[in-house]
Each structure stands twice: as structure tokens, then as C-alpha cells.
């Protein structure tokens, strides 16, 4: 269940500046990393060769792709924020993305979000959220992204 639930444009606008909560923890598996590598063609050894990643890599083992981590945001944000009163929503883009620390394969991560802005656009509202993904037990976040989502009436 979502940590924060609101209805309509006014409900969303009332949340500007608020920390919205946290998603559930999710485990990053080697199978996910391999599937992402196959889908994108990014078969860097630090991601897909566990033996070499342990022996030669800077992280002590294989790590998830940064863009795999980023791609989890659309599945994690709905656990944090549930918005009703709209016909549909679309991912509109990202303004800024950073990967401050690695995501070791087998680790657990979760997302948190702050609603930075809710701006009226033709037919609805555009939400700007700062989404922070953290690896359980890590000192720094693994991904910080400013994402844009449009909700249409």
C-alpha cells in the first residue's frame, strides 16, 4: 500500500515540499542484471561476470547497471504515492540523474520521494519528484533522480 494517497490536482498540490515516504525493499538479483544486459546490450564484465568482478572489479563483486537502478523508479514510486482522480499518467522524463554508489548484486534497495513541484499543464498536472534510491546498509544513496510525471484529467 502506498505511503501517501491523494486525490486530484488540489490533493497533489497540497503535497509540494513533502517527503512522501518509502517503497518496500526489493532485492537486486543476478537474473535481473543479466536480463537488463541482454535487453540493452550493456554486457560490461563488472555487471555480468561475477568471477572477474570479484577478482578485478572495484566493488568486490558484480553490480547492477546504473540504468537498471533508474529503471526501477516507475515500479517503486507507486508504492510511495498513490494518486487518484486522473484518467492516466505518463513518465515524462528526468531532469537530473546521479549514481553516487554501486548496487551490489544480491543487495536490497528501496526508494523514497519528495514532491518538489506540481505544475499545471494542458490537460493535467506535471509532478516533479526527487527520488532517492538507497542500498540497505550503505552510507550513500545509489541513485538520486529528479523525475517528471504527468497526470492527465
pLDDT tens digit at each of 153 positions of the chain = 567 899 999 999 999 999 999 999 999 999 999 999 999 999 999 999 999 999 999 999 999 999 999 999 999 999 999 999 999 999 999 999 999 999 999 999 999 999 999 999 999 999 999 999 999 999 999 999 999 999 999
Domain spanning 4-152: which superfamily?
Hotdog Thioesterase (3.10.129.10)
List the domain boundaries for the chain: 4-152
d(CA 122, CA 125): 8
Q: What are the beta bridge partners of residue 81?
A: 4
Backbone φ and ψ of 150, nearest 5°: -110, 135
d(CA 150, CA 124): 7
d(CA 28, CA 109): 8
Report residue 41 as a C-alpha cell.
Answer: 546490450
Amino acid at each position: 500500500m502506498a505511503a501517501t494517497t491523494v486525490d486530484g490536482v488540489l490533493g497533489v498540490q497540497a503535497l509540494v515540499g513533502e517527503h512522501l515516504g518509502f517503497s518496500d525493499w526489493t532485492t537486486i538479483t543476478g537474473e535481473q542484471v543479466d536480463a537488463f544486459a541482454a535487453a540493452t546490450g550493456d554486457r560490461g564484465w563488472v555487471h555480468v561476470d561475477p568471477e572477474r568482478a570479484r577478482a578485478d572489479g572495484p566493488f568486490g563483486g558484480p553490480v547492477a547497471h546504473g540504468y537498471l537502478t533508474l529503471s526501477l523508479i516507475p515500479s517503486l514510486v507507486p508504492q510511495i504515492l498513490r494518486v487518484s482522480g486522473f484518467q492516466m499518467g505518463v513518465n515524462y522524463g528526468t531532469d537530473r540523474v546521479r549514481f553516487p554508489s554501486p548496487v551490489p548484486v544480491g543487495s536490497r534497495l528501496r526508494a523514497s520521494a519528495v514532491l518538489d513541484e506540481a505544475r499545471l499543464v494542458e490537460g493535467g498536472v506535471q509532478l516533479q519528484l526527487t527520488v532517492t534510491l538507497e542500498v540497505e546498509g550503505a552510507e550513500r544513496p545509489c541513485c538520486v533522480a529528479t523525475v517528471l510525471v504527468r497526470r492527465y484529467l
